[in-house]
Copies of this chain bind each other. A is one copy, B any other.
Amino acid sequence: MTCLSRLTAEMPHVLRDVEDRYLEEPRGHWRGQALAVAAPTTTQEVAQILRIANDTQTPIIPYSGGTGLVGGQVMETGNPPILLTMERMTAVRAMDAQAGTMVVEAGAILENVHGVAEAEGWIFPLALASQGSARIGGLLATNAGGVNVIRYGNARDLVLGIEAVLADGTVINGLSALRKNNMGYDLRHLLIGSEGTLGVITAATLRLFPTPSATGAGLMTVPSPQAALDLLRLAQSRIGEGVSAFELINKTGFDFLAEVGPDLRIPFDEPPEWSCLIDLGLSHGTPADALESLFEEAFEAGIVTDGVVAQSEAQRKEMWAVRENIPEANRRIGSVSSHDIAVPVARLPAFIAEAPKRLAEINDFRINCFGHLGDGNLHYNVFRPKGEARDAFAGYRSAVKTCVHELVHEFGGSVSAEHGIGRMKVADLERFGDPGKLSAMRLIKRALDPQNILNPGAVLRADP
């Protein structure tokens, strides 16, 4: 019997139509295929589906919010998969408002998780542009980053325990809320970031954090990326952990917003070449005062040249709207190639100086370089010059990507800082990843998923 006929016979209630939305992905680069969509409501159902798939050697694509940017959720070719959507497993199973922990199922949407935490006086600090549709399972499977990593860490740092199902249907019950637990190997971190290739995360115990008593933001212009780094160091030495986000913005971002929208007010007469959005969350003291003192000291030192401090939550939201709409403006312009890179923080200025020179050897481009400066993680996106036709530059994609990735590698960096490998960067991982690590990854994959049914072709080549 085939997988589909067994599912139809044994658990018809989980089957759903293969709607288009399951086969599309945000950038429109790839289109998936699926034999069927299975939408379980319990961990036991997930286990049963995996057992059937494993028995019949049928690929399973774990499907979360569908917001991934590297094709981890779309399988274009090969033996058609069952798409396993977590959208019906969205419960908050437990909330411990005293300890600051929450057990949620993998299908919970990030924004809803924020709301539940806030209603109990806590925050869950994972924050990124797609939070209205991204689901916890996918966010953990890809070890998502976002804007608050500098203070709170990556997704994996926000998780105390996980429940997951392995390829053969074995359930791992690891929903511990303990802060310390050395009872055997850390499978939590192995599954987090494995992009659905080692197991399906079905629930997680999340760490919540105290709500800062006051928040604030400032946008400061800096003469150079090095000055931005100096400003970050100064902010951290004066304000400590109160620095919740520190984002670098390049003039190109403002230009794109002006060119294609969304139409947003920017607080400068002239868009500055480089600026930094600094967000504070303090447990005592006044953020606006702290930012003004920081500005004064930085201005004296020649690190900043201009700046505004939000005087209200509305102004803070305006500043963040600028930052958060830059990806949308990028999308409207349409990049030749986009890169999610990290280099050691101290080497960022040298990287930012060198990359345009290398790219200029290929052609003229516009570069929008922005992102999470404090983490060394930039979104380095390359666009055709203004007035040129989009199609005329599509052919440069591969050369641009290779150029940027090779430079990142020269700088000791990563060509996947927060988006993961998916199917898009499998060759990059083979080329730039450590051979010893890759061989260990293959051994682990084979041990836990010997039939290679879990998201085959993502992270590791299906047929190495």
Contact = CB atoms under 8 A, between A and B. Distances in A.
How many monomers of this protein are in the complex? 2
Interface string A162-179: 000010001111101111
Interface string A391-418: 0000000000000000000001111111
A145 B171 CA distance: 28
A260 interface: no
Given A194-B185, A434-B172, A414 B241 contact: no
> Most B CB atoms within 10 A — which of A182, A183, A193, A415?
A182
Contacts of A8: none
Contacts of A157: 157
Contacts of A447: 443-444, 446-447
Interface string A69-102: 0000000000000000000000000001011000
B180 A436 contact: no
Interface stretch (A53-61, A130-138, A342-350): A342-350
User: A145, A285, A344 — which one has the most chain B CB atoms within 10 A of its CB?
Assistant: A344
Nearest to A193: B186
Interface residues of A, number: 86
A241 B284 CA distance: 11
A439 B170 CA distance: 9
A376 B173 contact: no
A50 to B, nearest CB: 12
B436 A166 contact: yes
A182 to B, nearest CB: 5
A240 B210 contact: yes
B182 A143 contact: yes
A2 interface: no
Contacts of A172: 434, 436-437, 440
Given A143-B182, A238-B284, A418-B182, A437 B193 contact: no
Contact of A184 (B96, B375, B433): B433
B99 A346 contact: yes
Nearest to A449: B443
A427 interface: no
Contacts of A5: none
A323 interface: no
A360 interface: no
Nearest to A190: B190
B434 A173 contact: yes
A286 interface: no
A100 B28 CA distance: 40
A96 B344 contact: yes
Contacts of A433: 183-184
A239 B283 contact: yes
Contacts of A444: 185, 190, 444, 447-448
A154 interface: yes
A187 B441 contact: yes
Nearest to A179: B375
A56 to B, nearest CB: 21
A423 interface: no
B436 A185 contact: no
A239 to B, nearest CB: 7
Given A284-B238, A444-B444, A437 B182 contact: no
Contacts of A193: 182, 185-186
A156 interface: yes
A252 interface: no
A187 B432 CA distance: 16
A46 interface: no
A186 B180 contact: no
7 contacts: A172-B436, A176-B412, A176-B414, A182-B421, A183-B415, A187-B441, A188-B189
Given A176-B414, A184-B437, 19 more contacts: A98-B346, A143-B186, A149-B180, A166-B436, A166-B440, A170-B436, A179-B345, A179-B375, A182-B193, A182-B417, A184-B421, A184-B438, A184-B441, A186-B193, A187-B437, A210-B236, A238-B283, A238-B284, A440-B448
Interface of A: 96, 98-99, 142-143, 145, 149-150, 154, 156-157, 166, 170-174, 176-190, 192-194, 198, 210, 212, 233, 236-242, 282-285, 342-346, 372, 374-377, 412-421, 429, 432-434, 436-441, 443-444, 446-448, 459
